[in-house]
Structure 1
Amino acid sequence: MLKNTITGILILSCSGCVLLEKKDPIPVIDPADAEVPVLLMPTATAISAAECAGDMELPVELSRKFTAVSDPELLAQSIGDANEGKLCQGQVYVAKQNTQVMLFRGWNASNPASEFGEWWALKSPRGQIAQYRSDYQICYQWSPLDKMTLCSLKAGAKVVIGTGQSATCSSYLDYPSSAKKQVYLVNANADLFDCSSYNAEFNWTPIISN
């Protein structure tokens, strides 16, 4: 699943076209965006899309940095059944040239090999750890989240971006599906560069009773 500092966020979206009697003004298009039109391909879901939390639209700042493509096999790898984790719904994208996309991953310091795993976030981990686990369906037995790595995504890299599937961690802990966008990246070692790693530290916040 996924993972403090830095800014630069990202994601993508696209809308269907509607014919209007009155034409809208023609927008100015960045040459980098004119190479390939961003059209959403059909998405795959483990269950009905209506049962997945959130939507498939990317933030505006990210939508211009990706091109939607079709890769049913890669998409299927990222989709999980209910209570299994992974994605509930997703879309395959390719990172455009001349853009900067930052990805974040929280991982397990006792397992160095987990630094470049398959699951990443588009935002830096913040706030309560328990809430972060719930947002990204990260069971306690999967990772203590005591390390974070921040990397840039290479142009041409193929990823799946979608919302999280529900996960069952134990007989007393379940995470529901989440609207938070996650990134599935199969070849993290090859598709990421300029990485920085960070240690988690204790930071206790007083509990205010109402």
Structure 2
Amino acid sequence: MRVLCKTSCVCLLLVLVGACANLNPDLAGSAANSACAGDVIQPPAGLVEVIDTELRHAAEGQPGKGKLCKAKVFMAQMPVAVYRVWDSSRAYSVYGSWWSLAYPAGSRESYQKAEAICPEWSALDRVTVCNIKVGARVVIGPGQSMDCANDLSYKPSPENQVYIPNDSRNNQVFVENCSAGAPWPNPAP
């Protein structure tokens, strides 16, 4: 009886191992493709981590849908500079939700790829620098993958972005002391 039990256990184990070996490789690959490419950075001085699950969820996105791959929420204890590249043909977009902690560098195409910005969303021709208002809550994290029009897609990015829940149409703007939008990328001399 004991030998039969051991034999049955071994057979069951072999069946389970065999079933695992036949998993659909597309399913296994999609889990790897949806992994985040980076971690949430240490924020600059003036930002302190807080818990705000609702705001964090608003900033995180599913694979292929953009937003942040993973994130943490921070509250400004002092003004912190943020940078936004936007479309001058859409003046209302100057105070949008997506910002960075560093002045944008490189070409428009490299910036689009690093920040997962679909070309159809914005001409990306101006840059504005603002300060996060003291007391405002923002979300920071690496970018999620994005599927754009014309079969263009961007992989998850290790570049951290800053989500600020601005809604200028409803007078909810959490940045201040903003510069006038300068041409971007910088015109050649």
TM over 0.5: yes
Deviations 1:165-210 (A, max 9, x none): 00011243111000111011113653211101212367469xxxxx
User: Any stretches of 5+ residues in structure 2 without a counterpart?
Assistant: 1-30
- Partner AA of 2:165 in structure 1: V
Distance 1:149 1:128 in 2: 17
Equivalent residue, structure 2, for 1:8? none
Aligned-residue Cα RMSD (Å) equals 2.2
Aligned counterpart in structure 1 of residue 67 of structure 2, from 83, 86, 102:
86
Task: Note the C-alpha offset of 1:131.
Answer: 0.8
Mapping for residues 21-40 of structure 1, pairs under 5 Å:
none
TM-score, normalised by the number of residues in structure 2? 0.74
Distance 2:102 2:134 in 1: 19
Mapping for residues 142-181 of structure 1, pairs under 5 Å:
142-181=121-160
Q: Provide the secondary structure at the position in 2 that maps to 1:178.
A: coil
Q: Find out whether 1:54 has 2:38 as its counterpart.
A: yes
User: Any stretches of 5+ residues in structure 1 without a counterpart?
Assistant: 1-46, 206-210
**Larger relative strand fraction:** 1
Distance 2:160 2:102 in 1: 9
Equivalent residue, structure 1, for 2:85? 106
Equivalent residue, structure 1, for 2:163? 184
Distance 1:201 1:54 in 2: 25
Aligned counterpart in structure 2 of residue 200 of structure 1, from 177, 184, 188:
184
Distance 1:130 1:201 in 2: 10
Task: Note the C-alpha offset of 1:138.
Answer: 0.7
Deviations 1:43-72 (A, max 9, x none): xxxx89x8101112315xx1x321111111
Aligned counterpart in structure 2 of residue 116 of structure 1, from 86, 95, 98:
95
Equivalent residue, structure 1, for 2:26? none
Aligned counterpart in structure 2 of residue 139 of structure 1, from 118, 124, 146:
118
Q: Provide the secondary structure at the position in 2 that maps to 1:130.
A: helix
Task: Note the C-alpha offset of 1:79.
Answer: 0.7
Q: Percent of aligned positions with the same letter in both sequences?
A: 37
**Larger relative helix fraction:** 2
Deviations 1:92-120 (A, max 9, x none): 11011xx3411111111111111101111
Q: Find out whether 1:69 has 2:53 as its counterpart.
A: no
- Number of residue equivalences: 153
Q: Provide the secondary structure at the position in 1 that maps to 2:148.
A: strand
